[in-house]
Chain A
Amino acid sequence: MITIIDYGMGNLRSVSKALEYLGAAYTICTRAADLKKAKKVILPGVGAFGDAMKELHSRGLIEPIKLLASKKMKLFGVCLGLQLLFEKSEESPNVDGLGLLKGHVVRFRSRNVKVPHMGWNDICIRKKHPLLESISDGDYFYFVHSYYGKPALKNILLATSHYGEEDFAAAVGNDCVFATQFHPEKSQDVGLKILKNFIRW
């Protein structure tokens, strides 16, 4: 059973529809109590970093999410859900992130490119991970974002993509946390593969 966290930030329906399509059972969680027994959790989200942390806070979800990570439950962050896993973001400098991954979130600095980075881009795999199984260098995924996570240590950097003059983290993770800056639920078959890998993880 997969638990999708609903904290009022954007289109969690596309994640749940993809899980339905893949035949995976899921529940949607809005309260801390719902997270207690969760073993596999998806943290989706679009919008601003500060607003998202505020929403998580007002629902009492911050500590339960940290607790899950400390119990080594599997956590999958998507898009803004990736950024929230870090300690800080330039988007909302006065707000702390979940801090499950060391590093911070920065804005694209390249000139001559449009921001947000919106559309399909290919990735380059930097480190093996069970969720990237059967994913190859050069596979295209759908991105929509203006900020990206910058891991403090290379060992959580799983895949990168390139935009403007910057290489940035497309996927990060460790043995219990995994996150993508792109939207696997909107990246056709190759995205669904990652969700399938998560179902099996």
Chain B
Amino acid sequence: MFARRIIPCLDVREGRVVKGVKFVSLKDAGDPVSCAKAYDQQNADELVFLDITASHENRRTVIDMAEKVAATIFIPFTVGGGINTISDIRELLKTGCDKVSINTSAVRNPQFILAASRRFGSQCIVVAIDAKREAKNKWNVYTHGGRKSTGLDAVQWAQKVEKLGAGEILLTSMDCDGTKNGYDLDLTRRISESVKIPVIASGGVGNLNHFFEGFKIGKADACLAASIFHFGQFNIPETKAFLQSKGIPVRL
């Protein structure tokens, strides 16, 4: 049966994982390759690396990291942060990285999504949407790590990026991110039901039931989480076992 995906997300700065992953087995919690391997062994379905430095000088470091990850683990992974040009994407895909996630540059120039998906195929273009609730059932899109409002309506923007050729949406609720109170289920459901492409829910997971709600109520195709996994509060096998017991199909 088609499985719902569980995706750990790693923030990377200058080639090092920040807020290090605390696995007992891990010698170097800051090494992206070791972290990737650990999650691979736990049966993560995909991985996302977000480069929070995202400076031009840093491109080489990110590419080196992607090279090493691609040589070590054989599950799909996405790299996001600071991707502004077709050549940035080409450099990353050449490493063996599967998808790139674009956010600010997509808002700045929506045609970039079109150009990128035409060149490399929709399947590798993930558009990240950071959304913040403005009113009941109304969310606006933010960029620059949630600092800058674009005035765009999140639902309309999601439909637009789908038309432009995005293959997937990584949807983060700015309101819920870091709260551990669960995903913004209204937002997730609204976006997921407005597009035909898969939606990854992100921001707010604090317990296992939040994943269940993300799939069941939020209609997410995949659930992303960071700290809940990094700090060893829950691991991926127990997350999946829990979901399976609640009737959500997962890959064990």
> Which residue of the partner chain B has the closest CB to A17?
B96
Whether A30 is near chain B, meaning CB under 8 Å from some CB there, is no
Q: Are B222 and A21 in contact (CB under 8 A)?
A: no
Q: How large is the interface on B (under 10, 10 to 19, 20 to 34, 35 or more residues)?
A: 20 to 34
Whether A130 is near chain B, meaning CB under 8 Å from some CB there, is no
Report the Cα distance A10→B63, complex, angstroms: 17
Q: How large is the interface on A (under 10, 10 to 19, 20 to 34, 35 or more residues)?
A: 35 or more
Q: Which of A118, A121, A144, A192 contacts B74 (CB 8 A)?
A: A192
Given the interface contacts A10-B93, A10-B124, does A119 sit within 8 Å of B221 by beta carbon? yes
- Min CB distance A51 to B, Å, is 9
Question: Which of A34-42, A68-76, A182-190 contacts the other chain?
Answer: A182-190
Given the interface contacts A10-B121, A14-B98, does A140 sit within 8 Å of B168 by beta carbon? no
Whether B5 is near chain A, meaning CB under 8 Å from some CB there, is yes
Q: Are A46 and B123 in contact (CB under 8 A)?
A: yes
| Chain A hits for B231, CB < 8 A | none
- Min CB distance A84 to B, Å, is 14
| Chain B hits for A188, CB < 8 A | 40, 43, 74-75
Report the Cα distance A58→B7, complex, angstroms: 39
| Chain A hits for B122, CB < 8 A | 116
Whether B3 is near chain A, meaning CB under 8 Å from some CB there, is yes
Whether A142 is near chain B, meaning CB under 8 Å from some CB there, is yes
Whether B198 is near chain A, meaning CB under 8 Å from some CB there, is yes
Of A119, A122, A187, A192, the most chain B CB neighbours within 10 A belong to A119
- Min CB distance A165 to B, Å, is 12
Q: Which of A14, A114, A163, A183 contacts B197 (CB 8 A)?
A: A114
Interface of A is mostly: mixed
Report the Cα distance A20→B67, complex, angstroms: 13
Q: Are B124 and A13 in contact (CB under 8 A)?
A: no
- Min CB distance B97 to A, Å, is 8
Q: Are B124 and A11 in contact (CB under 8 A)?
A: yes
Given the interface contacts A121-B1, A142-B75, does A13 sit within 8 Å of B123 by beta carbon? no
Q: Are B93 and A120 in contact (CB under 8 A)?
A: no
| Chain B hits for A162, CB < 8 A | 1-2
A-B contact count (CB 8 A): 98
Q: Are B71 and A119 in contact (CB under 8 A)?
A: no
Q: Are B74 and A186 in contact (CB under 8 A)?
A: yes
Whether A98 is near chain B, meaning CB under 8 Å from some CB there, is no
Q: Are B98 and A186 in contact (CB under 8 A)?
A: yes
Q: Are B98 and A20 in contact (CB under 8 A)?
A: no
Report the Cα distance A183→B168, complex, angstroms: 18
| Chain A hits for B53, CB < 8 A | none
Which residues of A, 44-60, contact B by the 8 Å Cβ criterion? 46-48
- Min CB distance B180 to A, Å, is 26
Whether A117 is near chain B, meaning CB under 8 Å from some CB there, is yes
> Which residue of the partner chain A has the closest CB to B219?
A114
Report the Cα distance A121→B124, complex, angstroms: 19
Q: Are A14 and B70 in contact (CB under 8 A)?
A: yes
Q: Are B96 and A116 in contact (CB under 8 A)?
A: no
| Chain B hits for A122, CB < 8 A | 1, 3, 251
Chosen A-B contacts, 7 in total, with CB atoms closer than 8 Å, are: A11-B93, A118-B221, A119-B5, A119-B221, A120-B251, A121-B2, A145-B123
With A14-B96, A17-B70, A140-B3 known, 12 other A-B pairs at CB within 8 A are A9-B121, A11-B93, A11-B94, A14-B98, A116-B122, A119-B3, A121-B1, A122-B3, A142-B75, A144-B123, A186-B75, A188-B75
B residues near A (Cβ < 8 Å) are 1-5, 40, 43, 45, 70-72, 74-76, 93-98, 120-124, 167-168, 196-198, 221-222, 251
A residues near B (Cβ < 8 Å) are 9-11, 13-14, 16-18, 20-21, 46-48, 113-122, 140, 142, 144-145, 162-163, 183, 185-189, 191-192
